[in-house]
Amino acid sequence: MTTLLRALPALSTTSRSIRFEGGDHGSPVSFFLIDADPGKGTERHTHPYAETWVVRAGEVEFHVGNDRFHGAAGDIIIAPPEIPHRHVNTGNTLLQMICIHPFDRIVQDPA
């Protein structure tokens, strides 16, 4: 069965995140659409699966285990399963990013 969802609003000009859990719609993939103001980000956490980030706009610093990566529009970064990670908007503009979780729901534990 094919499903068309039009409930996701366009990305904004202020901080917010939209959570999509695929299992609610018959999909094995979940994701966040992130709009983060400068200086905003996440706390350290882990997942039992790899997380993939797609940077759409802005600048971001990723902390994955003991490594740090700088990302900008067009970059794709992957955090391995069970490795603590976080990200923060290090730019002067809105960070727009997609955080892909290859599971039918988002499983996140504090690290």
Specify if 68 maps to a domain: yes
Asked whether residue 9 carries a pLDDT value surpassing 60, the answer given is no
Q: What is the pLDDT of residue 2?
A: 47
- What percentage of the chain exceeds 90 in pLDDT? 80
Specify if 6 maps to a domain: no
Specify if 31 maps to a domain: yes
Q: What angle do CA 17, 74, 23 make, to 5 degrees?
A: 40
Asked whether residue 3 carries a pLDDT value surpassing 70, the answer given is no
Stated pTM of the model: 0.87
Asked whether residue 93 carries a pLDDT value surpassing 70, the answer given is yes
Number of residues written out for the chain: 111
Task: Encode burial over 59-75: b for 16+ CB neighbours within 10 A, e otherwise.
Answer: bbebbbeeeeeebeeeb
Q: And the tokens for 59?
A: 């600048």
Asked whether residue 6 carries a pLDDT value surpassing 60, the answer given is no
Give the mean pLDDT of 46-75. Answer: 96
Q: How would you class 96 by CB atoms within 10 Å of its CB: exposed for 0-12, middle for 13-18, buried for 19 or more?
A: buried
Specify if 2 maps to a domain: no
Specify if 36 maps to a domain: yes
Specify if 7 maps to a domain: no
Which range marks the domain in which residue 106 is found?
Answer: 16-110
Overall domain count for the chain: 1
Specify if 8 maps to a domain: no
Q: How far is CA 75 from CA 4, 62, 72, 111, in A?
A: 27, 12, 6, 25
Specify if 10 maps to a domain: no
Domain CATH for 26:
2.60.120.10
